[in-house]
Each structure stands twice: as structure tokens, then as C-alpha cells.
Amino acid sequence: AGTARIITFTPSFPYEWILDPRSGKCVQERYLSETPAEFPSMNPYVHGTRGKFVYALSLSSAGGPIYAYGSPQESPRFDSLVKFDLETGAVASKYTMPPKRLLVAEPMFVPKIGKGNPATGGKEDDGYILVMVSDIEHDKMKVSKMQVFDASDLSMGPVSEVDLPELIPFGLHSEWVPFESLGVPSN
């Protein structure tokens, strides 16, 4: 006999707190959207300022088992990439993965070279969103890819994708580090 598994999952939703650094208090808070979202990312040029956009994973269901993940097998099924307008709370654009393709890592915003910096006249969404995805077939991971989206309009779908040499498990955390930040001498 199989073992029954029951999980509890409460989806999260974009939420805003406005803090007053002088008083150390929250002066305003609100839900930004009714669209569930996890693992938000934004243009690093606007960290610590009032940004307009945030990119996140969204899900169609929670549960399982998703045998291809190994552990945990009960998990949210992240299958959409969303761009939220932080001023209105609206979904500015969205891309839903094809069936049997799941997002396995948080989105990473990468500004286009020489662009994407509002402080120098650039547009905040002038960059790319990188995500890791895995294709599932017969409850097994078949292939993993890195997909690249234009941050200005996710609904256009990936502008590029790269097959990865190894399978990427469900891990969710990721980070973009520009090559020049690694301190590796160039030859």
C-alpha cells in the first residue's frame, strides 16, 4: 500500500510595506495583487529605491507528488513568470510555460549592457529575465534549460534558451553575477 502524503501550502501574494526610517515604523501596508507569486526579483539599479516593476514566479497548483523533483515531492508547481507593476498592482505581462515544463529557480534580472539604469535615463525594464526550467516526462526530469526573456514584455516568450549539460533540480534560489565582478583576470 502507498503512503498518503498531505501538505499544507498557503500561497503568497505581493505585499508592500512602507517604512519610515526616522520613526522605525511601518506607515503603510497593502496587498499589491491577487495573483499568487513567489521569489520576486527586480532590476538591481533600483534596489533600495521606489522601483516600478518586480518579476516573480507564479503557480497553477500546489501538491504532488512531483516525482521528478526527488525531495520534496509535494511542492508548488511554478509554471508562470509574471511582471508586476508596483504602482498599480496589475500584472504588466505574463508568460505561462508549456505543459510539463516547470520553473525550478527564481527569476534573475540582468540589465542590458549600458542600459536599464533609471539614474542615467535608462528604462527600468530594459534588461533580461533569466530563469531555469526543467522538462518533465513520465515523472522524470528530461532536460533542463536556461531561458532568457525580454524584461519589457514577458508575454513574447523566451528570446533565447540554452540546453544545460546537467539536470537542474527544484532549488529556487539563484543569482546573476556579472563576469567582471568575479575578479577573474581576462586573457
Tens of pLDDT along the chain (187 residues)? 455 554 566 778 888 888 999 999 999 998 888 888 989 999 999 998 889 999 999 987 665 555 555 545 556 778 899 999 999 989 999 999 988 888 888 999 999 988 989 999 999 999 999 999 988 876 677 889 999 999 999 999 999 999 999 888 777 788 888 888 888 877 6
Q: Which residues contact 4 (CB under 8 A, 6 or more apart)?
A: none
Q: What are phi and psi of 133, to 5 degrees?
A: -130, 155
Residue whose C-alpha is closest to residue 33's, from 97, 92, 81, 96: 92
pTM to 2 decimal places: 0.83
ω into 165 cis (within 30 of 0): no
